Structure 1
Amino acid sequence: MRVRKLQQPRGWAFTVGAMILKPLFFLTTRPDWVDGTKIPATGGCIVVINHLSYVDPLTAAHFCYDHGRLPRYLAKSGLFRNKVLGFFLRGAGQIPVERATAGAVGAYDAAVAAVNAGECVVVYPEGTLTRDPDLWPMKGKSGAARIALATGAPVVPVGQWGAQQLLAPYSTKPHLFPRKTIHVLVGDPVDLADLAAKPLDAAVIAQATDRIMDAVTELVARLRDEDPPAERFDPRRAGVAEIGNPTQQPRTRDAG
């Protein structure tokens, strides 16, 4: 496992977070970081990673930090409404997202600005915890592709596995012991060069999104040593709510 030293100033929020979380992760997890140096050491980039657990932003932050980057997240706006947590998130430069509303455009603009300013922006391209019954990456949202095509920055795919054992999807009760291994595998940047040269329409964005999800899924398959489903799970077709806890919401019929 190779790591890199952080070269940019941490700021107070990351300093406090590292002081609290690093010892906690040392006690409760074993990091299995593979090819983390494929994340650029400097410059704007978009890290795309599958989403398994509420703890994912913390384990991904640990991973990025160990490889010399401070992650900037697109985080759901509800987290910012808590005064203490919101103060911390803003101090760490995180970006609030009003999911499924017109306000999401502001988050997109902020993410593009952050990438263009040389930041490492972490995006969960599924938009929420996977709804796939076996926790495979599901159908992606277009946000990561839009940011990538707007900035021309490298899109670095990341597969992760093991966080769900530390904190199961939608659970608030962690299983801290015995220590859980958090597997993270980084792939080569997703090639979107041919799409960047085309007019930015729905078909191009869909192609870019599929390439991103294909790359992430392939990495997860390698970590699990299993074949992924032939077709990615689509919450809309399955009649599953796209945001919120799907186990606490009624199913809806497929609108076609």
Structure 2
Amino acid sequence: MTESRRSRATFAVLAVTVRPIMNLLMSKQWSDAGKLPRDTGFIVCPNHITEIDPVVIGHFLFNQKVTPHFLAKASLFKVPVMGWILRATGQVPVDRTTAGANRSLEAAREAISSGGGIVVYPEGTLTRDPDLWPMKGRTGAARLALQTGAPIVPIAHWGAHEVFPRYAKRFYLFPRKTSRVVVGDPVDFSDLMGKPITKTVLDTGTERILDALTTLVADLRQEAPPTERWNPADKHQKSTGRNFENRDFDQ
């Protein structure tokens, strides 16, 4: 996916407008950016704690001269203004139909082959864990890595949720918060490459990604993670949407 002139121009405009806003909203503590691959395309796997996560991760990657491409819900491309920006910057719509999924995979492959970073949230949506730890993941990132051979780089962040909490309706600007981002080592998939892409292989790869992310988040928070990863299905929670709690179950 060679960046088009329109994509480069749109990113330039966003850099001029969005980066100063992000710098005003939060101070930055970024570490281990040197672990980002520079000689190949790669898959970025961040934790997901608030709706402004993509802006935080996009800001970080762009500052490291990595053009960020996100796998984003197809419905977002229909939102006025946002949809135009997503299309103009070459973001990848995720369509759950078979044909749409194939197009998404091909676009992701192009982004990787061009040397860029394709961002895939392994949890699939905002974490349902009450304490915002990484929850049980979905297998899309592992599948993409196994199909392309691209390295998976976990990137954890913490602090943006204090500015805009999960599913909030307003920003909390004072006192000024700090956004902390750390890059982890690529997740080791060497023993999985070349194997048939079965459910067992995908689940194994996904758990490795979430284990790496959880370790990074624990380091940022200086807290011990839970011994068992949160599974929305076990808690009778919906996998998508704001109103994910099962009120009858809670009672």
Tell me, in whole angstroms, the C-alpha distance in 2 between the residues paired with 1:206 and 1:251.
Answer: 30
* 2:208 is the alignment partner of 1:215: no
Task: State the shift of 1:199 in Å.
Answer: 1.6
Residue in 1 aligned with 2:159? 162
**Greater shift in the superposed pair: 40-49 or 26-35:** 40-49
Task: State the shift of 1:43 in Å.
Answer: 2.3
Residue in 2 aligned with 1:201? 198
* 2:171 is the alignment partner of 1:150: no
Residues 105 and 242 from structure 1, CA distance in 2 versus in 1: closer, same or farther, beyond 3 angstroms? farther
Letter in 1 for 2:28: P
- Structure 2 length-normalised TM: 0.91
Residue in 1 aligned with 2:241? 244
Task: State the shift of 1:35 in Å.
Answer: 0.2
Residue in 1 aligned with 2:172? 175
Identity of aligned residues (%): 46
Letter in 1 for 2:205: A
Tell me, in whole angstroms, the C-alpha distance in 1 between the residues paired with 2:66 and 2:91.
Answer: 14
Letter in 2 for 1:221: A
Tell me the secondary structure at the aligned position of residue 48 of structure 1. strand
Task: State the shift of 1:251 in Å.
Answer: 5.0
Tell me the secondary structure at the aligned position of residue 192 of structure 2. helix
**Greater shift in the superposed pair: 131-140 or 31-40:** 31-40
Tell me, in whole angstroms, the C-alpha distance in 1 between the residues paired with 2:19 and 2:189.
Answer: 35
Output aligned runs, 1:182-197, within 5 Å: 182-197=179-194
**Count of equivalent residues:** 244
Q: Choose which of 24, 40, 43 in structure 1 pairs with 2:40.
A: 43
Structure 2: unaligned runs, 5 residues or longer: none
Tell me, in whole angstroms, the C-alpha distance in 1 between the residues paired with 2:50 and 2:94.
Answer: 18
Letter in 1 for 2:202: I
Residue in 2 aligned with 1:123? 120
**Greater shift in the superposed pair: 216-225 or 82-91:** 82-91
Task: State the shift of 1:178 in Å.
Answer: 2.5
Residue in 2 aligned with 1:62? 59
Tell me, in whole angstroms, the C-alpha distance in 2 between the residues paired with 1:43 and 1:91.
Answer: 23
Task: State the shift of 1:231 in Å.
Answer: 1.1
Task: State the shift of 1:130 in Å.
Answer: 0.3
Q: Deviations over 1:85-111 (max 9, x none)?
A: 111111111011135x54444323321
* 2:22 is the alignment partner of 1:20: no
Q: Is the 8 A contact 1:33 1:184 kept in 2?
A: yes
Tell me, in whole angstroms, the C-alpha distance in 2 between the residues paired with 1:172 and 1:156.
Answer: 31
Q: Deviations over 1:185-226 (max 9, x none)?
A: 111100101101322111111100000110011000100111
Letter in 1 for 2:189: L
Letter in 2 for 1:60: I
Tell me, in whole angstroms, the C-alpha distance in 2 between the residues paired with 1:145 and 1:159.
Answer: 17
Q: Is the 8 A contact 1:45 1:121 kept in 2?
A: yes
Tell me, in whole angstroms, the C-alpha distance in 1 between the residues paired with 2:131 and 2:45.
Answer: 20
Q: Choose which of 76, 100, 111 in structure 2 pairs with 1:114.
A: 111
Structure 1 stretches of at least 4 aligned residues deviating more than 4 Å after TM superposition: none
Structure 1: unaligned runs, 5 residues or longer: 1-7
Letter in 1 for 2:33: G
Task: State the shift of 1:80 in Å.
Answer: 0.7
Residue in 1 aligned with 2:138? 141
> Alignment RMSD, CA only?
1.9
Q: Deviations over 1:133-184 (max 9, x none)?
A: 1000000110100111111111111111101001000113111233210011
Tell me, in whole angstroms, the C-alpha distance in 2 between the residues paired with 1:128 and 1:87.
Answer: 22
Task: State the shift of 1:117 in Å.
Answer: 3.0
